[in-house]
Chain A
Amino acid sequence: MRFTKLTKPGSVFLAGLASLFTMPAVHAEYALNMTESVTPIGRQLYGLHMLVFWICVGIGVVVFGAMAWSIIYHRKSKGAQPANFHESTTVEIIWTIVPLLILIGIAIPATGTLIDLEDAKTDAEITVQVTGIQWKWKYTYVDEDISFVSNLAQSSRDVMKDPIGNENYLLEVDEPLVLPVNKKVRFLFHSDDVIHAWWVPELAVKQDSIPGFINDSWALIEEPGTYRGQCAELCGKDHGFMPIVVEAVSEAEYEQWLVSKKEEAAAAASAAEQEWSMQDLVARGEEVYKANCSACHGVTGAGIPGAFPAMTGSAIINDPDPSAHIDIVVNGKAGTAMASYKGQLNDVDIAAVLTYERNALGNSVGDTIQPVAIKNAR
């Protein structure tokens, strides 16, 4: 659906009103209804949703119909004389029992669906641990020794003032989660800081990730494709900017992806052994900083007074002895929003961002931090 600017207020009112009355009819064209899912459980949810919806419509027709009838025919201006009945135990009992029966009719399928929905463990073939972190997701393939962080893509960050025309604005990440189709995937949700919620409508998964506890949920994706979602629990400033992208691929492609991921990790490990130049570190550090740190400390390093300290002129950064600087980024500071980055960034990235902070953002300490220093600090 393309974004069109609605100019005339009148047409907007009409569009609004029209949408009131055409809800079920046009849902194929406009996204009026619940997203249809690519998992079996999602299809069950959709069915249940439509069932309850139509029940409500039915009851609505009866109740509002009776009301409309009175409004039209029992009005004083038409000479209606008021009757005087005001009690009937029989009808009270009827309109207690009938809704009760309807509710039982809803509760029975809902119970079955809920039990299926909550059974993530049985026959799970792949387990992915999902960690919510202000404001990104970290994915760990539990049996594969693969782990990476997924951030909002730079392409979305760049156009926030005027995103019109940007495809998948706010729904694009730098590294998607890759999953094979037709396998039951068990997700383990957990958070490093506040409560987040991982939600991909097409997978019909929405589960809170809570610090200190692990929740699970599952999906069996039946169609390959790219599925997008967002964090669904208010988690602070950039809650609106922590999207999720799932690439569902065939099993063969998935295997291939696993291999390439492992190679990447090995390459990164050897890169960490090398001596890096200041220029390379600063260049790489800028990217890392933008993706990981700027949300709090600001793109220019100004921070937000009272909430997030400025990087520009920070005493810790400008201290010629880098140990405190290394420590706060590697280990974070407990009880504050400053998280530990040792689980999120590799040695090179941390070394790069530290060097960047020391030599940019208005600071000029003039030294470099080498990846080995980070390795030792871990």
Chain B
Amino acid sequence: MSSATNEEYYVPHGTHWPIIGSIGLALTVVGIANYLHDTWSATPIFVGLAIIVFMMYGWFGQVITESLSGFYSKQVDATFRWSMSWFIFSEVMFFAAFFGALFYARQYSIPWLDGASNNDATAQYLWPDFEAAWPLLSVPVSEKFNEATAVMGAWGLPAINTAILLTSGWTVTLAHWALKRRDSTWLVYWLFATVVLGFGFVGLQGYEYVHAYQDLNLRLDSGIYGSTFFMLTGFHGFHVTMGAIMLTIIMIRAAKGHFTPENHFAFEAVAWYWHFVDVVWLGLFIFVYWL
């Protein structure tokens, strides 16, 4: 927590990227909402997303230029560190909402539907045939949902994916060490390995989804088990994809020689993010697949 400093703090003057980003965001969400109601085609969504990508490209490009020009002092660096940490914390809380839903369903709503706690009448009058279980395959109103026929096991693909992600956490650390000893070759190699593992994870996850839909009839609309399963793993998979894309960019920048042992916060930020994704996966593996 530095308070005293005699360094310079860079204060940019004017920027048009945010307004472009806002337009992109607004177009995307309005596009999605209209698409859901069949009032618009999907095109506006893609235009919106393209604007967002353009904005990120421009904005980050500007930040990279400024960084390479040496505008950023230690104090600016500290700002970036605080910001990235708290951004990750906000992501943690986003996942917490879905984990909360998972725990609530397992600990409360499903047992209650079967008469636990003060819900004897619920079971007696409303759901006499319902039996609490986790993972929940037969839901109270089976006609309304596509019930899954089997549970997604933990020790097949998910275990392999766990190993992949843990390994990738290790390779990104190796890349960091390479960076610190100015070994740009291994830096890029290890980053490449991480990116491959990351996309490999996403690919296997996709394969698992196909398996779930085709063989197990485990779907997003299979009741609360399917809901929590796909929302948690889906958002996680999305984050892995984002992380892998960011790692790819970092790899390209590393190959261009953007980072020095003293100045490589972009690398570290992405590495933090990658570790965060890793930790979330462990939570998923334990609570969604295993226990």
Query: Residues of A with Cβ closer than 8 Å to B?
Result: 118, 121, 129, 188, 190, 212-216, 334
Contact A129 B125 (CB under 8 A): yes
Stretch from B38-46, B75-83, B99-107, B116-124 contacting the other chain: B116-124
Contact A213 B125 (CB under 8 A): no
Contact B118 A118 (CB under 8 A): yes
| Cα distance, A214 to B121, chains bound together (Å) | 6
* A–B complex contacts, Cβ < 8 Å, 12 sampled: A118-B118, A188-B121, A190-B126, A212-B122, A212-B140, A213-B112, A213-B119, A213-B126, A214-B119, A214-B121, A214-B125, A216-B121
Query: Residues of B with Cβ closer than 8 Å to A?
Result: 112-113, 118-122, 125-126, 140, 144
| Cα distance, A216 to B112, chains bound together (Å) | 14
**Nearest CB in chain B to that of A121: its residue:** B120
Contact B113 A212 (CB under 8 A): yes
Majority secondary structure of chain A interface residues (helix, strand, loop or mixed): mixed
| Cα distance, A215 to B125, chains bound together (Å) | 12
| Cα distance, A106 to B119, chains bound together (Å) | 29
Which residues on the A side are within 8 Å of B118 (C-beta)? 118, 215-216
| Cα distance, A334 to B140, chains bound together (Å) | 15
A151 → B minimal CB distance (Å):
23
A36 → B minimal CB distance (Å):
28
Which residues on the A side are within 8 Å of B121 (C-beta)? 188, 214, 216
Contact B144 A213 (CB under 8 A): no
B182 → A minimal CB distance (Å):
54
Which residues on the B side are within 8 Å of A212 (C-beta)? 113, 122, 126, 140
A105 → B minimal CB distance (Å):
28
Which residues on the A side are within 8 Å of B140 (C-beta)? 212
Contact A190 B125 (CB under 8 A): yes
| Cα distance, A129 to B125, chains bound together (Å) | 10
Which residues on the A side are within 8 Å of B113 (C-beta)? 212-213
Identify B125's interface contact among A121, A188, A334, CB under 8 A: A188
Which residues on the A side are within 8 Å of B144 (C-beta)? 334
| Cα distance, A350 to B18, chains bound together (Å) | 59
Known contacts A118-B118, A190-B125, A216-B121; 17 further A-B pairs (Cβ under 8 A): A121-B120, A129-B125, A188-B121, A188-B125, A190-B126, A212-B113, A212-B122, A212-B140, A213-B112, A213-B113, A213-B122, A214-B119, A214-B122, A214-B125, A214-B126, A215-B118, A334-B144
Which residues on the A side are within 8 Å of B125 (C-beta)? 129, 188, 190, 214
**Nearest CB in chain A to that of B140: its residue:** A212
| Cα distance, A215 to B118, chains bound together (Å) | 8
Which residues on the B side are within 8 Å of A129 (C-beta)? 125
**Nearest CB in chain A to that of B143: its residue:** A334
Which residues on the B side are within 8 Å of A188 (C-beta)? 121, 125
Which residues on the B side are within 8 Å of A118 (C-beta)? 118
| Cα distance, A190 to B113, chains bound together (Å) | 13
Closest 3 CB pairs of A and B: A214-B121, A214-B122, A188-B121
**Nearest CB in chain A to that of B144: its residue:** A334
Which residues on the B side are within 8 Å of A216 (C-beta)? 118, 121
| Cα distance, A334 to B145, chains bound together (Å) | 12
**Nearest CB in chain B to that of A186: its residue:** B121
B214 → A minimal CB distance (Å):
26
Which residues on the B side are within 8 Å of A190 (C-beta)? 125-126
B137 → A minimal CB distance (Å):
18
Residue with the highest number of chain A CB atoms closer than 10 Å, among B121, B125, B126: B121
| Cα distance, A129 to B121, chains bound together (Å) | 10
A210 → B minimal CB distance (Å):
9
| Cα distance, A277 to B2, chains bound together (Å) | 90
Which residues on the B side are within 8 Å of A121 (C-beta)? 120
Which residues on the B side are within 8 Å of A334 (C-beta)? 144
Which residues on the B side are within 8 Å of A214 (C-beta)? 119, 121-122, 125-126
B198 → A minimal CB distance (Å):
39
Residue with the highest number of chain B CB atoms closer than 10 Å, among A188, A213, A214: A214
**Nearest CB in chain B to that of A140: its residue:** B125
**Nearest CB in chain A to that of B126: its residue:** A214
| Cα distance, A140 to B112, chains bound together (Å) | 23
| Cα distance, A216 to B121, chains bound together (Å) | 8
A161 → B minimal CB distance (Å):
35
Residue with the highest number of chain B CB atoms closer than 10 Å, among A121, A213, A216: A213
**Nearest CB in chain A to that of B122: its residue:** A214
A191 → B minimal CB distance (Å):
11
| Cα distance, A188 to B121, chains bound together (Å) | 7
**Nearest CB in chain A to that of B112: its residue:** A213
B256 → A minimal CB distance (Å):
54
**Nearest CB in chain A to that of B123: its residue:** A214
| Cα distance, A118 to B118, chains bound together (Å) | 9
B235 → A minimal CB distance (Å):
25
Which residues on the B side are within 8 Å of A215 (C-beta)? 118
B112 → A minimal CB distance (Å):
7
A166 → B minimal CB distance (Å):
37
| Cα distance, A253 to B102, chains bound together (Å) | 51
| Cα distance, A213 to B120, chains bound together (Å) | 10
Which residues on the A side are within 8 Å of B119 (C-beta)? 213-214
**Nearest CB in chain A to that of B120: its residue:** A121
Which residues on the B side are within 8 Å of A213 (C-beta)? 112-113, 119, 122, 126
Which residues on the A side are within 8 Å of B120 (C-beta)? 121
A127 → B minimal CB distance (Å):
9
Which residues on the A side are within 8 Å of B122 (C-beta)? 212-214
**Nearest CB in chain B to that of A119: its residue:** B118
| Cα distance, A212 to B189, chains bound together (Å) | 56
**Nearest CB in chain A to that of B121: its residue:** A214
A45 → B minimal CB distance (Å):
20
A283 → B minimal CB distance (Å):
36
**Nearest CB in chain B to that of A127: its residue:** B121
| Cα distance, A215 to B120, chains bound together (Å) | 9
| Cα distance, A129 to B112, chains bound together (Å) | 18
A266 → B minimal CB distance (Å):
25
